[in-house]
Protein backbone atom coordinates (compact mmCIF):
# COMPACT_ATOMS: atom_id res chain seq x y z
CA UNK A 1 0.00 0.00 0.00
CA UNK A 2 1.26 3.45 -0.87
CA UNK A 3 -0.07 6.46 0.98
CA UNK A 4 -0.05 9.87 -0.66
CA UNK A 5 -1.35 12.83 1.24
CA UNK A 6 -4.29 11.99 3.49
CA UNK A 7 -6.58 8.94 3.39
CA UNK A 8 -9.15 7.33 5.66
CA UNK A 9 -8.36 3.79 6.77
CA UNK A 10 -9.72 1.25 9.19
CA UNK A 11 -7.06 0.22 11.66
CA UNK A 12 -7.23 -3.05 13.53
CA UNK A 13 -7.57 -2.72 17.30
CA UNK A 14 -6.96 -5.55 19.73
CA UNK A 15 -8.02 -5.03 23.35
CA UNK A 16 -6.90 -7.96 25.42
CA UNK A 17 -5.40 -8.90 28.78
CA UNK A 18 -1.76 -7.84 28.94
CA UNK A 19 0.89 -10.51 29.22
CA UNK A 20 4.57 -10.97 28.59
CA UNK A 21 5.11 -11.84 24.92
CA UNK A 22 1.80 -10.53 23.59
CA UNK A 23 3.37 -8.25 21.00
CA UNK A 24 5.94 -10.90 20.05
CA UNK A 25 3.12 -13.35 19.41
CA UNK A 26 1.19 -10.89 17.25
CA UNK A 27 4.32 -9.92 15.29
CA UNK A 28 5.21 -13.58 14.74
CA UNK A 29 1.70 -14.45 13.58
CA UNK A 30 1.64 -11.63 11.01
CA UNK A 31 5.21 -12.33 9.84
CA UNK A 32 4.42 -16.01 9.31
CA UNK A 33 1.47 -14.96 7.13
CA UNK A 34 3.73 -12.61 5.14
CA UNK A 35 1.82 -9.53 6.32
CA UNK A 36 3.88 -6.36 6.58
CA UNK A 37 3.12 -3.98 9.46
CA UNK A 38 3.03 -0.33 8.35
CA UNK A 39 2.30 1.23 11.74
CA UNK A 40 1.68 -0.05 15.24
CA UNK A 41 0.83 1.53 18.56
CA UNK A 42 0.77 -0.48 21.78
CA UNK A 43 -0.47 0.70 25.14
CA UNK A 44 -0.54 -1.44 28.26
CA UNK A 45 -2.19 -0.19 31.43
CA UNK A 46 -2.15 -2.60 34.29
CA UNK A 47 -3.67 -5.85 33.18
CA UNK A 48 -5.10 -4.55 29.87
CA UNK A 49 -3.31 -4.05 26.54
CA UNK A 50 -4.46 -2.21 23.44
CA UNK A 51 -2.75 -2.76 20.07
CA UNK A 52 -3.50 -0.55 17.05
CA UNK A 53 -2.31 -1.95 13.70
CA UNK A 54 -2.10 -0.80 10.12
CA UNK A 55 -0.79 -3.41 7.69
CA UNK A 56 -0.40 -3.81 3.97
CA UNK A 57 -3.23 -6.38 4.05
CA UNK A 58 -5.84 -5.43 6.63
CA UNK A 59 -8.38 -8.12 5.66
CA UNK A 60 -5.81 -10.93 5.82
CA UNK A 61 -4.38 -9.56 9.06
CA UNK A 62 -7.81 -9.41 10.66
CA UNK A 63 -8.61 -12.95 9.57
CA UNK A 64 -5.28 -14.27 10.90
CA UNK A 65 -5.74 -12.50 14.24
CA UNK A 66 -9.33 -13.70 14.61
CA UNK A 67 -8.30 -17.28 13.78
CA UNK A 68 -5.71 -16.98 16.56
CA UNK A 69 -8.60 -15.90 18.82
CA UNK A 70 -7.58 -12.28 19.31
CA UNK A 71 -10.55 -9.92 19.82
CA UNK A 72 -10.25 -7.65 16.78
CA UNK A 73 -12.20 -4.47 16.17
CA UNK A 74 -11.82 -1.86 13.45
CA UNK A 75 -11.66 1.88 13.95
CA UNK A 76 -11.49 4.63 11.38
CA UNK A 77 -8.30 6.69 11.32
CA UNK A 78 -6.71 9.34 9.13
CA UNK A 79 -3.41 8.26 7.62
CA UNK A 80 -1.07 11.02 6.45
CA UNK A 81 2.15 10.83 4.52
CA UNK A 82 4.04 14.09 4.99
CA UNK A 83 7.46 15.45 4.14
CA UNK A 84 9.83 14.98 7.05
CA UNK A 85 10.63 18.60 7.69
CA UNK A 86 10.25 20.84 10.72
CA UNK A 87 6.76 22.25 11.13
CA UNK A 88 4.58 19.74 9.28
CA UNK A 89 3.08 18.20 12.41
CA UNK A 90 2.46 21.73 13.69
CA UNK A 91 0.54 22.54 10.50
CA UNK A 92 -1.61 19.44 10.86
CA UNK A 93 -2.42 20.02 14.52
CA UNK A 94 -3.00 23.76 14.03
CA UNK A 95 -5.41 23.06 11.15
CA UNK A 96 -7.40 20.67 13.32
CA UNK A 97 -7.40 23.05 16.30
CA UNK A 98 -8.51 26.04 14.21
CA UNK A 99 -11.47 23.99 13.02
CA UNK A 100 -12.45 22.76 16.48
CA UNK A 101 -11.44 19.14 15.94
CA UNK A 102 -10.22 17.26 19.01
CA UNK A 103 -7.42 14.74 18.45
CA UNK A 104 -8.17 11.57 20.41
CA UNK A 105 -4.86 9.90 19.62
CA UNK A 106 -1.95 10.19 17.23
CA UNK A 107 1.13 8.14 16.51
CA UNK A 108 3.81 8.72 13.91
CA UNK A 109 7.14 7.63 12.53
CA UNK A 110 9.70 9.74 10.73
CA UNK A 111 12.83 7.90 9.67
CA UNK A 112 15.50 10.48 8.94
CA UNK A 113 16.71 8.74 5.79
CA UNK A 114 13.34 8.58 4.03
CA UNK A 115 12.44 12.26 3.89
CA UNK A 116 8.83 11.33 4.76
CA UNK A 117 6.82 10.67 7.87
CA UNK A 118 3.73 8.59 8.41
CA UNK A 119 1.13 9.97 10.83
CA UNK A 120 -1.91 8.04 12.08
CA UNK A 121 -4.55 10.00 13.95
CA UNK A 122 -8.10 9.80 15.10
CA UNK A 123 -10.22 12.77 16.09
CA UNK A 124 -13.84 13.51 16.83
CA UNK A 125 -14.62 13.92 13.09
CA UNK A 126 -12.20 12.02 10.87
CA UNK A 127 -14.13 12.84 7.70
CA UNK A 128 -13.84 16.57 8.34
CA UNK A 129 -10.17 16.17 9.27
CA UNK A 130 -9.52 14.36 5.99
CA UNK A 131 -11.25 17.11 4.04
CA UNK A 132 -9.22 19.82 5.78
CA UNK A 133 -5.90 18.02 5.54
CA UNK A 134 -6.30 17.23 1.85
CA UNK A 135 -6.52 20.97 1.25
CA UNK A 136 -3.06 21.50 2.80
Rounded to 5 degrees, φ, ψ at 89 are -65, -35
Maximum Cα–Cα distance for the chain, whole Å?
A: 44
Class of residue 11 by CB neighbours under 10 A (exposed 0-12, middle 13-18, buried 19+)? buried
Residues of the domain holding 16:
10-73
Interval 91-106: pLDDT, tens: 899 999 999 999 999 9
Note the pLDDT of residue 74: 97
Note the pLDDT of residue 4: 58
Domain count, the chain: 2
Note the pLDDT of residue 1: 36
Domain contains 125: yes
Same domain, 20 and 65: yes
pTM, two decimals, is: 0.85
Same domain, 44 and 57: yes
Note the pLDDT of residue 2: 42
Note the pLDDT of residue 8: 93
Rounded to 5 degrees, φ, ψ at 69 are 70, 30
d(Cα 133, Cα 136) in Å, to the nearest integer? 5
End of a domain among 33, 53, 73?
73
Domain contains 3: no
pLDDT tens for the chain, 136 residues long, are 344 588 999 999 999 999 999 999 999 999 999 999 999 999 999 999 999 999 999 999 999 999 999 999 999 999 998 888 888 889 899 999 999 999 999 999 877 777 888 899 999 999 999 999 886 5
Interval 60-83: pLDDT, tens: 999 999 999 999 999 999 999 888
Amino acid sequence: MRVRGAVLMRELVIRTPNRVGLLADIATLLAEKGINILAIHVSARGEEAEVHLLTEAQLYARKALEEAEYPVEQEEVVLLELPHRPGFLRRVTETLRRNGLDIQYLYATAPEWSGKCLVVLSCDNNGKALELLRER
